[in-house]
Every structure is written in structure tokens, then in C-alpha cells.
Amino acid sequence: MRTITLINGDGIGPEISSAVIKIIDAAGLKIDWDVQTAGADVIEKEGTPLPERVLNSIKKNKVALKAPVTTPIGKGFRSVNVQLRKSLDLYANLRPCKNLPNVKTRFDGVDIVVVRENTEDLYAGIERQVDENSAESIKIITREASERICKFAFDYAVKNNRKEVCVVTKANIMKLSDGLFLESYRKIAEDYPTIHKCEILVDNLCMQLVQNPTQFDVLVLPNLYGDIVSDLCAGLIGGLGVAQGANIGADYAVFEPVHGSAPDIKGQNIANPTALLLSAVEMLKFIGEQSYAQKIEKALYKTLEQGVCTKDLGGSMSTTMFRDAIIANL
Ligand code: NAI
């Protein structure tokens, strides 16, 4: 039996992760979940929201499913998510954005995969106050990180039968930094003759995405543009309750929804488990459990097609009722 680290998170985390684990179990896939607590709830006892044992568990098991974790504001704690990405060198942030049945959005047929570089760019955290009236942030782009994220995007495209990988930059203005990212894309692209190439500036991409998003397939972007564009794409498919994600590195992978711990609806049994469930489906594909991934995805689609959904999508189902409807459709 495969062992996978499970971070239940806090806020709505335990409610949605319990639903997802029950669905995977009902699908017939036996997983030994190595449950690790993290976040606000463990700070008092262990002095940090991300104890070493959590990292050790992921290092041992290689793969983790993670529910959201609260980042305390103004207490000097770094975000658990940022720490996880850094400590495990999870360099690729993967966000597939695809329309779901019966989830009302502006466009049908959206099926975009955002591949965001996760380790550098303006997120390197190199900032300084120049004087009272000015500050600087340094944008770091390296050939090594750019080539590996572009290679990740092309490999993903090949593995998942995607047709095109489009690179997104502002290389007309940041000729050196974004220019290097673009140059890296062009070099890596040569190794993938079957995948269509495309280059677009980030401002034009944003306009095109809100006018005609179905023209895009896989997008590869430096960290900051990737962060912004992936939220835009989440909005295209129905918002936070359905937006899945993953952070993937050479050795480890952490699958998690885009949304946070939603303290405003904590404990009310109304949170939508779909984003975490779809993250889990992507995780199952990643570990080679394609048939279970498809089975669960099909049951989720069928449930939504039946008009059964949680409050955030306009329905009236509680988290547990929605879970049971999916289980009945497996
Ligand atoms: P949030 O994503 O938790 O909530 C934003 C809004 O969306 C809220 O109204 C919430 O009720 C709703 N929402 C989110 N997920 C939902 C779901 N599954 N079903 C139904 N409604 C849902 O963002 P917010 O409030 O800015 O952050 C809360 C905490 O979460 C913060 O401490 C933040 O640092 C943390 N956070 C953690 C993340 C992670 O662990 N990956 C990611 C983003 C935020």
C-alpha cells in the first residue's frame, strides 16, 4: 500500500480533507495516509506552523496532499506554503483550469494549464529601502530555473496530450531578465518538435484571456506573472471552490487547492471540497493511479451534472451531502 503525507490544515481544511479521503477510500483505492498537523493549531505546542516532522514525512513519502493552512498575520511567521516550496525545492506550480459541468462561468470550453516558476523572480525577497521615499525589489531570473520550468511545461504537454506551450513574458521591456526567460523557452522548445510554440506578452495575454480564453492551452510563466494569471484563470472556471493546484519539484510533490483556510465558513459544513478533490485527482495521476483518478473525476462530473453542488456554486448541499453524492456516483 502506498503511503502519502496528508496535511489536514486548519480552518475548513479538516472538513474538506475528511470528505476527500472518504471519496478516495470509497473509490476502492487503499492509501496509508501519514497524517501531519501544521499551521496555526500547532504553533503553541511546537513553536512553528511547519515543524520539521512534516518536512521529514514528505521527504520520506515523496508526495503530499495538503489542505489549506492559515498564515498568522503580523506574528513573524513565514507562510507555511512558501516555506514548503523553498525547503523542498518545489519549483513548478501547476494549475490546471478547466470548466466543470453546471458551474456557470462566462466562457465554455476553457481548458488551460498554468505552469508557474515557483522559486525566483520578484519572490526572491531581495528588497531594500533606498531612502525614506523609495524602495527597490530585485527581480532574479536565472537560466537554470528558466530552462527547468520550460522543460517541465513541455514534458507536461507531451505526457498529457496537450498541443501547445505558450511562453508569457514582458521581454519587450525587461529585455535582460524576461529576455533570458524567453531565450530559455526557445532553447528548450527545440527539443519538442511535436508541440506548437507560441510567445505572448503578459498584458496582451490578460486581455485575450478575458475575451477569448479557449484559444490557450499550456502557459509557462515567470513567478509573478504566473501568480496573477493563474488567479485570473481560476476566475474563468468558477473561482476558488473549484481551483486545484500542485507544487512539484525534482524529488517531491505537494498537491493542494488554490484557496486558503476560509476562516469565515470554518466548522459550518458548507465548504466546497472540489478544489482539494481535483488536486487529489491530479496527485493520483501523478503517482500512476490513472484509473482511480478517472473514476473519481467522472463521479464528480456526474454529481455536478445532476445539479448537486455546494453553496458557493449556487447549490444547497453541505460538504458532507456533496461528498455522499459523489460517493454514490462512483
Ligand atoms: P480564502 O481562500 O481562505 O477565502 C476567500 C473567500 O473564499 C472566503 O470568503 C471563503 O469563504 C471562500 N472560500 C475559499 N475556499 C472555499 C471553499 N473550498 N468553499 C467555499 N468557499 C471557499 O482566502 P483568505 O481569507 O484570504 O485567507 C484565509 C487564510 O488562508 C489566510 O491565513 C491565508 O494566509 C491562508 N491561505 C492559505 C493558503 C494555503 O494554505 N495554500 C492559500 C491562500 C491563503
What is the distance between the alpha carbons of residues 136 and 191, in angstroms, rounded to a whole number? 37
Q: Which of 187, 231, 266, 285 is catalytic?
A: 231
Q: Distance, CA 241 to ligand 1 centroid (Å)?
A: 9
Please tell me whether residues 187 and 291 are part of one structural domain.
no
User: One of 32, 89, 191, 203 is an active-site residue; which one?
Assistant: 203
Indicate whether 231 and 249 sit together in one domain: no
User: For residues 68 and 12, is the Cβ–Cβ distance under 8 A?
Assistant: yes
Domain edge (last residue) among 188, 219, 236: 236
For residue 99, the one-letter residue type is N
Each residue's pLDDT tens digit in the chain (330 positions)? 899 999 999 999 999 999 999 999 999 999 999 999 988 778 888 888 889 999 999 999 999 999 999 877 665 667 788 889 989 999 999 999 999 999 999 999 999 999 999 999 998 878 899 999 999 999 999 999 999 999 999 999 999 999 999 999 999 999 999 999 999 999 999 999 999 999 999 999 999 999 999 999 999 999 999 999 999 999 999 999 999 999 999 999 999 999 999 999 999 999 999 999 999 999 999 999 999 999 999 999 999 999 999 999 999 999 999 999 999 999
Residue 285 carries which DSSP code? H
15 lies in the same domain as 84: yes
Residue 216 belongs to a domain: yes
Task: Kindly state whether residues 7 and 37 are assigned to the same domain.
Answer: yes
Residue with cell 455522499: 324
Q: Is 127 a domain residue?
A: yes
Q: Is residue 223 part of a domain?
A: yes
Among candidate residues 212, 236, 260, the one where a domain is terminated: 236
> Is ligand 1 within 6 A of the CB of residue 261?
yes
Compute the CA torsion angle 317, 321, 323, 327 (nearest 10 deg): -120
> Is 252 an annotated catalytic residue?
no
Domain extent, residue 50, equals 1-94+241-330
Same domain, 66 and 182: no
Distance 262 CA to ligand 1 centre (A): 4
For ligand 1, atom 37: residue with the closest CA: 260
In a domain, 100, yes or no: no
Same domain, 228 and 154: yes
Number of structural domains found in the chain = 2
Residues 147 and 57 placed together within one structural domain of the fold: no
Do residues 150 and 196 share a domain?
yes
Angle at alpha carbon of residue 106, lines to 101 and 111, rounded to 5°: 55
Q: Verify whether ligand 1 is closer than 6 Å to residue 70 (CB atom).
A: yes
**pTM for this predicted structure:** 0.94
Output the furthest CA–CA distance in the chain (Å, rounded).
63
Q: Is 203 a catalytic residue?
A: yes
Categorise residue 238: left if φ over 0, alpha if ψ from -120 to 50, beta otherwise: left
Residue 61 lies in a domain: yes
Give distance in angstroms: CA of 276 to centre of ligand 1. 12
CATH number (domain holding residue 50): 3.40.718.10
Q: 314 Cβ partners below 8 Å, 6+ apart?
A: 104
Rounded Cα gap, residues 35 and 37, in angstroms: 7
Residues 81 and 166 in one domain: no
β-bridge pairing 244-248 and 253-257:
antiparallel
Cα–Cα distance measured from residue 156 to residue 308, given in angstroms and rounded to the nearest whole number: 32
Which of 43, 50, 73, 259 best tests ligand 1's pocket when mutated (most atoms within 8 Å of CB)?
A: 259
Domain stop point among 182, 204, 236 = 236
Residue 89: alpha-carbon gap to chain centroid: 15
Contacts with 37 (C-beta within 8 Å, 6 or more apart), sequence order? 7, 8
241 lines ligand 1 (CB under 6 A): yes
76, three cell numbers: 513573524
Residues 318, 253 share a domain:
yes
